[in-house]
């Protein structure tokens, strides 16, 4: 592929010179990206529409677990600029868009944030910039939203501006940081791929270019659909194993001894977070427009969304076996975050279980050391700062297996335990009053 002199010059600039990274959206993806760019020696302008968030960031207060206050304060002290003034982005050589891409009504993609970011680009984009979308979305989004934006800005693709997609791969609570995670990059043209690859190579150690923005968009959806489908598989097998009187946890551990061709996934109360339950729906929604079936995605969603009710049914049966009716029973819920060792409750299946129990007249006490008591109260549950609150409950249900929980004391304080995460077995804690998925 022959590159224009202009594109070659931009590649050299991104490769050899100090340049300014502009990050649009300072959440769990954008803020780590901004700090990474700073740590890699680039100038950084962070833009967000939230005045409160920008004020906190400039004061060195991080709400993102993967960015410490000290890291943030050091970045601000050495010149990283957080602002709500989009015009500041005119000084950026590359714009990285990391805004939310949630589902809206009927679990259809809510493109408002990407649309707003595209409007920002239309108002500030200038000659020489790379514009890279990172928000998880359906194949075709980058062309559909960013090409009109650069046209509106009076720019011409590959002549004086470059456009690409590069999926974020943040795993909240994981020790891997942005610069250590390989990055897939796909330009809307081969020239844009080349320029985007050069820019990203300054941010991360390992860049994997693909042939188009659509290929990059679908890569991300494959990654997360793969997880959603495999989690649904073990969630269904957990129900099958229970019907057979088999311990699914033992079976998964046994299968995991296979040194090739098997990756262990584990059953749970459902699938939470802002990625796995949502991202596959972007693909399913777009595929429907093309009359292409996505039966695995649809079935995985059905199985995963039904898990909270399955947990409630198992709890009702367990209580009934001990002559306790669900209505007016007391349940001690352990863990409301959507996965271990984080505070995020978005789309948390633990919340679905507890709300479902409360709707059946169950009194709910909750212990989650990662989630603020005010937040637990807002859901109508009674927060407990330690596990001894279990002693007043008819059953303890473990919904999120945070590492910091004192499981030995929890079990000793409980009349009955229902473990939806297999954490007690993992910890070698067994007793006749412990039951699990």
**Whole-number minimum distance, CB 338 to ligand SAJ, in Å?**
4
**Whole-number minimum distance, CB 126 to ligand SAJ, in Å?**
30
Query: Which C-beta is closer to ligand SAJ: that of 228 or that of 387?
Result: 228
Query: Which C-beta is closer to ligand SAJ: that of 155 or that of 170?
Result: 170
Q: Among 155, 199, 203, 275, which one carries the catalytic annotation?
A: 275
Query: Which C-beta is closer to ligand SAJ: that of 42 or that of 437?
Result: 437
Query: Which C-beta is closer to ligand SAJ: that of 132 or that of 195?
Result: 132
Query: Which C-beta is closer to ligand SAJ: that of 326 or that of 367?
Result: 367
**Whole-number minimum distance, CB 300 to ligand SAJ, in Å?**
11
**Whole-number minimum distance, CB 422 to ligand SAJ, in Å?**
10
The reply to whether 275 belongs to the active site is yes
What is the contact surface with ligand SAJ in residues (CB under 6 A)? 136, 168-172, 223-224, 227, 231, 265-266, 268, 271-273, 275-276, 338-339
Neighbouring residues of 17: CB distance < 8 A, sequence distance ≥ 6: none
**Whole-number minimum distance, CB 276 to ligand SAJ, in Å?**
4
Query: Which C-beta is closer to ligand SAJ: that of 139 or that of 389?
Result: 139
7: left (phi over 0), alpha (psi -120 to 50) or beta: alpha
**Whole-number minimum distance, CB 417 to ligand SAJ, in Å?**
19
User: Annotated catalytic sites, by residue?
Assistant: 275
């Amino acid at each position: 592929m022959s590159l224009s002199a202009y594109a070659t010059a931009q590649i050299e600039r991104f490769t050899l010179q100090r340049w300014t990274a502009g990050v649009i959206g300072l959440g769990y993806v954008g803020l780590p990206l901004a700090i990474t760019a700073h740590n890699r020696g680039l100038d950084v302008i962070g833009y967000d529409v939230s005045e409160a968030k920008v004020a906190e960031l400039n004061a060195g207060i991080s709400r993102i677990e993967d960015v410490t206050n000290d890291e943030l304060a050091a970045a601000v002290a050495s010149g990283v600029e957080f602002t709500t003034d989009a015009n500041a982005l005119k000084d950026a050589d590359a714009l990285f868009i990391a805004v939310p891409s949630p589902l809206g009504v009927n679990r259809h993609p809510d493109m408002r944030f990407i649309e707003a970011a595209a409007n920002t680009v239309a108002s500030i984009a200038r000659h020489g910039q790379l514009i890279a979308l990172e928000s998880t979305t359906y194949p075709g989004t980058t062309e559909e939203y960013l090409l009109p934006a650069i046209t509106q800005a009076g720019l011409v693709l590959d002549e004086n501006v470059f456009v690409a997609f590069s999926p974020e791969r943040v795993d909240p609570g994981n020790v891997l940081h942005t610069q250590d995670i390989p990055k897939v990059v796909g330009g809307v043209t081969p020239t844009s791929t080349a320029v985007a690859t050069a820019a990203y190579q300054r941010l991360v150690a390992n860049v994997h270019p693909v042939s188009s923005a659509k290929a990059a968009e679908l890569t991300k959806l494959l990654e997360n659909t793969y997880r959603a489908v495999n989690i649904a598989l073990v969630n269904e097998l957990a129900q099958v194993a229970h019907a057979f009187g088999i311990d699914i946890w033992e079976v998964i551990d046994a299968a995991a001894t296979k040194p090739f061709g098997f990756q262990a996934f584990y059953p749970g109360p459902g699938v939470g977070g802002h990625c796995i339950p949502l991202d596959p729906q972007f693909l399913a929604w777009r595929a429907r427009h093309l009359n292409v079936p996505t039966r695995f995605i649809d079935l995985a969603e059905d199985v995963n969304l039904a898990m909270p009710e399955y947990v409630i049914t198992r709890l009702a049966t367990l209580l009934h076996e001990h002559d306790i009716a669900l209505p007016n029973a007391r349940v001690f819920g352990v863990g409301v975050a959507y996965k271990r060792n984080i505070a995020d409750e978005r789309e948390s299946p633990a919340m679905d279980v507890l709300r479902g129990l409360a709707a059946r007249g169950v009194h709910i006490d909750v212990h989650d050391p990662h989630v603020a008591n005010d937040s637990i109260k807002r859901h109508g549950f009674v927060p407990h700062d330690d596990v001894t609150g279990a002693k007043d409950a008819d059953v303890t249900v473990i919904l999120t297996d945070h590492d910091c929980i004192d499981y030995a004391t929890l079990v000793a304080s409980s009349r009955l335990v229902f473990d939806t995460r297999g954490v007690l077995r993992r910890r070698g804690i067994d007793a006749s009053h412990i039951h699990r998925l």
